[in-house]
A and B are shown apart, each in its own frame.
Chain A
Amino acid sequence: MAKIEIQNLSKDFDTPNGILHAVKNTSLTVNDGEVVVIIGPSGSGKSTMLRCVNGLETPTSGHILIDGVDTSAASTDIRKIREEVGMVFQSFNLFPHLTVLDNITLAPIKVKKMKKEEAEKLARELLKRVGLEEKADVHPPQLSGGQQQRVAIARALAMNPKAMLFDEPTSALDPEMIKEVLDVMLSLAKDGMTMLLVTHEMGFARAAADKVVFMDKGEIIEVGTPEKMFSNPESERTQDFLNHIL
């Protein structure tokens, strides 16, 4: 498993209305096997920070270290990092032209040069783990949202990542499907996977998180255990936010 260190990260976007400071000089450490949940109002830079970790966004300044390897160093192969850090998206982003099985086996075969039979065996095991072994041969658009997201988790796990990033994995789901996805995530957390999540599921945060991080306007306002954050947060902004959503 892996340790993620975010050091003085800043990310600016050029917009027609000027420069947007999405993340401002933020530092955060996720220790080996830890589950860290980032909460905060929309537009607070949570997703941007997450996307910087596996290089989907390039930081304007600052460093991200994965097991001590600087992702922005010229000598680092960012693709190797991405193999080691799985990502699950809000909109699933499954490949609609491939079957569920091919969705999962594509990257192991093409990137890790795994044998086809081996990859398929692994894919079926992972599908069993997320409870979808009978859906191997259907195309993603025929699945419900919750099922698609579970396939997306299996797809990320197929690369045998050391850490997983979740970008609002349940926000696009109907309420009755949220639980099935959270159950998979909970079992991952129990197995000791290092996880960094952006989510609005406070129940999950309470049950599985080691740390809860509250972000607002590109800055980390408060970090603490779930108990402390939800029962008596120090900052007024955190209180305000939690009062609104709980």
Chain B
Amino acid sequence: MDSKEINERIKAEAIRQHTISVDPNATKTESTTINMTDGVLIPKKGEKHVFTSWRLTFFGALILSAVLIIFFPDPYRLIFLTCLRGAPVTFEVTIFSIIGAVIIGTFTGLGSVSKRRWINMICGVYVELIRGIPLLVQLIFIYYAVGSLFHVEGMIAAIFSLSVCFGAYMGEIVRAGIQAIPKGQMEAAIALGMSRAQAFRYIILPQTIKVILPAIGNEFISMLKDSSLVSVLSLEDILRCGRMYISRTFLSLETMLVVALIYLIITLVLSRLVGLLEERLHKNG
């Protein structure tokens, strides 16, 4: 999902939550923009075809896994067991990294809307720098660069790199979320005598969180998939466990099929959860 789409979704969400009055003089503009995105990620009940295709994929993957385990226990049962041994590492890396990314992203987002030019500049350069370098290159770079100065564990290096990388994207999400809150909210807070910091803390950020929560969920899913890259840092995640199994048994095709199935099932479950979360927010909004 590119940042433009994130911006638009966040704006639409904020407008939906805040539409109190409508300017009767505003001319209605027919939008003819065609959005090129990588498609609807999260199935919702309204979108029948997406929901159905989600179900088809999900149950297809489940049934295929079941068939493989039950009817071809040799070698699939062992492959599944071996690969799943990497799942805790995958989740550990993902969860700690998303926490790191949210923290970095919050500061970056606040920095991007700061009134001080030099803070904007620092955040802007950080975002541009990170977005311009492939994640795999960053991962290896940080691992060896930091490793040449002092010894770092693979896990720390992985969490650090993923946090720094996703922090930049998260920063953009937070920035878009803050900017999606109507200007009047800040003005009302200021007019009551609050400082900008107080206004952010009590008025702007609580509303931003609600708006960007689905986007954070999506980042979590991308992070889970991209965490497979940490296998190059000799971390035993799902992919690495699979590849080690291949080097022992040479069952490349079978093992990679299982690895793919595991990632697919986890991702589909998570995307459904994010969809439910979003629905919930809409209802309470």
Which residues of A are interface residues toward B (Cβ below 8 A)? 54, 56, 79-80, 82-83, 86-87, 89-97, 106-107, 110-112, 141, 145, 148, 152, 155-156, 159, 172-173
Contacts and interface: CB of A to CB of B under 8 A. Distances in A.
Interface residues of B, number: 22
Contacts of B192: 82-83, 106-107, 111, 155-156, 159
Interface string B115-146: 00000000000000000000000000000000
B207 A159 contact: no
B58 to A, nearest CB: 34
B210 interface: yes
B191 A87 contact: yes
B59 interface: no
Given A91-B20, A92-B20, A145-B20, A82 B193 contact: yes
Interface in B2-51: 17-18, 20-21
Contacts of A111: 192-194, 198
Contacts, number: 73
A52 to B, nearest CB: 13
A96 B190 CA distance: 16
Interface string B181-197: 01011011111111100
A92 B187 CA distance: 11
A203 to B, nearest CB: 20
**Which of B185, B189, B190, B192 counts the most chain A CB atoms within 10 A?**
B192
A95 B203 contact: yes
A83 B191 CA distance: 8
B281 to A, nearest CB: 12
Contacts of A82: 190-193
Contact of A172 (B21, B182, B189): B21
Interface of B: 17-18, 20-21, 182, 184-185, 187-195, 198, 202-203, 206-207, 210
Contacts of B194: 79, 107, 110-111
Contact of B191 (A54, A97, A145, A148): A54
A92 B191 CA distance: 12
A172 B188 CA distance: 16
Given A106-B202, A107-B193, A107-B194, A93 B188 contact: yes
Contacts of A56: 187, 190-191
A110 B184 contact: no
Contact of B187 (A93, A110, A156, A173): A93
Contacts of A90: 21
A182 B193 CA distance: 25
Contacts of B17: 96, 141
Contacts of B202: 106, 110
